């Protein structure tokens, strides 16, 4: 079991992915770690997560005491700050870098802030390992489909994050640096489904930028599955990509609206938005190998690539426009994750009881 007796660091550990990743690690499916450190700059989110872990609904400052003696410890810090991330990485065997500025409009209006978090942050992790000769076993960078043929700042900065981690295998060969790249996570914070839920409950309209728009879809657990697959199987410099379904955004809205008398309003493409997302470009497809439920993109650097000349798994780019689900299949998918309005309302009612 790969994480057995390992010291684990999750940067951005209070985000949507970080919390599900923590729960899955605690399940023991990858082994029982010696220590898990949640590293983030948001004190309030850390406090809430700490209370969840301690199974308390309210507390005062005493929950912080003995922090570092527990299986899960919480560290306030910022990947942008070399000193604080160096301290965190020095106590880790495995690093999951989930810290990011990920909202497309935010990154468009504050591009340098995206650079500082999404590029300087990963470079600080790599630099700490290289300069302090830290015995870190594996670093996994969490990327996005927007990093493939990027047209927005978020994607551009994530694409450079991927290259920073790939190149780090040259300078620090004792550490394995790999990435995962996936599409829109169902119902994650800031994603379209919670927005549609809110608009439908308010009586509409439901707003969509363009009726032709398509997106890859996967659950948070599928995102963690991809991370764990890369942890267990990826070779240095590889980028792991799940084989996942895609859907038209207008179909997502229609399925969620159902028979309700709610209009759909088209607002036009936002700054930095793509019509279709791509997980593997036509340039990258020549370096893709088949890994069962996943594709693995070989490192672009010949010094790092581990399977040059392997049989290529794709003969075209991997786009969300290639095969979109029918509305019936999409409804089944959303229902399986309890994301239809009635299911969400029922879950919220159960939580209030």
Here the tokens at position 340 are: 């239809």
- What DSSP state is assigned to residue 324? B
Cα gap 278→101, rounded to integer Å: 20
First vs last C-alpha separation in the chain: 38
Going from the C-alpha of 325 to that of each of 67, 204, 219, the distances in angstroms are 47, 24, 16
* Selected catalytic residue, list 146, 149, 274, 331: 146
Virtual CA dihedral for 98, 240, 110, 164, nearest 10 degrees? 90
Question: Is the preceding peptide bond at 216 cis, omega within 30 degrees of 0?
Answer: no
Q: Please say whether the beta carbons of 136 and 129 come within 8 A.
A: yes
**Is 146 assigned a catalytic role?**
yes
Provide the strand spans (E) within 281-335.
Answer: 288-291, 294-297, 318-319
Here the tokens at position 123 are: 């470079």
Q: Which sequence positions are flagged as catalytic? A: 146
């Amino acid at each position: 079991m790969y994480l057995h007796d390992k010291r684990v660091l999750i940067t951005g550990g209070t985000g949507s992915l970080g919390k599900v990743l923590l729960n899955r690690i605690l399940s023991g499916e990858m082994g029982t770690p010696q220590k898990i450190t949640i590293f983030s700059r948001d004190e309030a989110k850390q406090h809430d997560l700490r209370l969840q872990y301690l199974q308390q609904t309210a507390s005062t400052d005493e929950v912080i005491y003995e922090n570092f003696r527990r299986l899960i410890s919480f560290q306030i810090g910022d990947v942008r700050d070399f000193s604080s991330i160096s301290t965190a990485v020095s106590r880790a065997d495995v690093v999951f870098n989930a810290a990011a500025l990920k909202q497309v409009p935010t990154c468009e209006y504050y591009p340098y802030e995206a650079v500082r978090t999404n590029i300087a942050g990963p470079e600080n992790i790599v630099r700490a390992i290289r300069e302090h000769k830290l015995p870190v076993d594996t670093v996994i960078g969490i990327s996005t489909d927007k990093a493939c043929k990027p047209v927005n700042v978020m994607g551009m900065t994530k694409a450079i994050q991927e290259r920073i981690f790939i190149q780090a295998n040259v300078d620090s060969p004792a550490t394995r640096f790999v990435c995962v790249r996936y599409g829109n996570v169902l119902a994650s914070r800031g994603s379209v489904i919670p927005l549609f839920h809110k608009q439908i409950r308010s009586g509409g309209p439901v707003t969509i930028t363009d009726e032709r728009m398509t997106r890859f879809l996967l659950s948070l657990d599928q995102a963690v599955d991809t991370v764990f697959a890369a942890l267990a199987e990826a070779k240095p410099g590889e980028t792991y990509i799940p084989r996942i379904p895609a859907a038209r955004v207008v179909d997502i809205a229609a399925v969620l609206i159902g028979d309700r008398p709610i209009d759909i309003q088209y607002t036009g493409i936002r700054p930095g938005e793509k019509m279709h997302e791509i997980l593997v470009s036509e340039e990258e497809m020549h370096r893709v190998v088949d890994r069962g439920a996943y594709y693995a993109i070989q490192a672009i650097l010949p010094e790092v690539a581990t399977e040059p000349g392997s049989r290529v798994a794709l003969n075209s780019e991997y786009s969300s426009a290639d095969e979109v689900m029918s509305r019936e299949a999409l409804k089944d998918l959303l229902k399986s994750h309890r994301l239809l309005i009635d299911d969400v309302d029922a879950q919220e009612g159960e939580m209030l009881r």
